[in-house]
Structure 1
Amino acid sequence: MHSQSETGRVTTLTIAEAAERTGLTAHTLRYYERDGLMLDQVERAASGHRRYSDRDVAWIELITRLRATGMPIRDVRRYAALVREGAGNEAERLALLLSHRELVERKLAEVTAHLRAIDHKIALYESKVEGTA
């Protein structure tokens, strides 16, 4: 859905604005579109330039989170395809996301264990530094 300005006109973002908003490069945004990761074709202005809606930006932010948490491009592409297909495949979407969530939880537990080891070493050094001060 597009947002509306005070004049009632629908507002969209240029690729540069969408890149700035999402923290991605214009090259990455073009890649997402070309590789079938977007929900819909990105609108084009009369000039042919891409125009990103609020819905496009929200979707980009979701797939950025999925990628940042380690979801492979093929799974992101599959998830996007399922969402594009519409109602009726929610169980498959859920299974895909639950599987990814399990992976993220395993990675989080591993990083948490590493953090505990680092905290242990910090505590050892802090006690030595405080004991010599």
Structure 2
Amino acid sequence: MQDLKRYIALVEQGPSTIPERRRIMLDQRDRIVRQIRELTLALETTEYKIRVYDGHPEG
């Protein structure tokens, strides 16, 4: 939320803030990628457990 407020303030200041806005977006992308990896691992683990419960752990 703090980043969003900062980003909005920077937009209002104009084009001179583009480099900082870009950095904020790159940081946001990194957070999203990390979350996707974590969720993918959680999904794979959950699917594996379901297969185990169904008696088919190998795939």
Structure 1, unaligned stretches of length 5 or more? 1-72, 129-133
**Is 1:95 equivalent to 2:23 in the alignment?**
yes
TM-score (norm 2): 0.82
**Structure 1: distance between partners of 2:22 and 2:6:** 12
Mapping 1:1-133, distance limit 5 Å = 73-127=1-55
Segments of 5+ residues of structure 2 without an aligned counterpart are none
Q: Point out which structure has higher relative CO (alpha carbons under 8 A, 6+ apart).
A: 1
Q: Structure 1, residues 81-107: CA drift from partner, whole Å, max 9, x if none?
A: 011111121111010110111011111
Runs of 4+ in structure 1 displaced over 6 angstroms?
none
- Specify the structure having the higher radius of gyration (Cα): 1
**More helix as a share of residues:** 2
Structure 1 Cα separation of the partners of residues 53 and 14 of structure 2: 56
Q: Please report how far the alpha carbon of residue 116 of structure 1 lies from its aligned counterpart in structure 2 after TM superposition.
A: 0.3
**Deviations for 1:104-131, whole angstroms, at most 9, x for unmatched residues?**
1111101110110000011122236xxx
In the alignment, the residues of structure 1 paired with residue 31 and residue 42 of structure 2 have an alpha-carbon distance, to the nearest angstrom, of: 17
**Structure holding more strand per residue:** 1
Matches of 1:80 and 1:119 in 2, distance apart?
40
Moved more, 110-119 or 83-92: 83-92
Aligned residues: 56
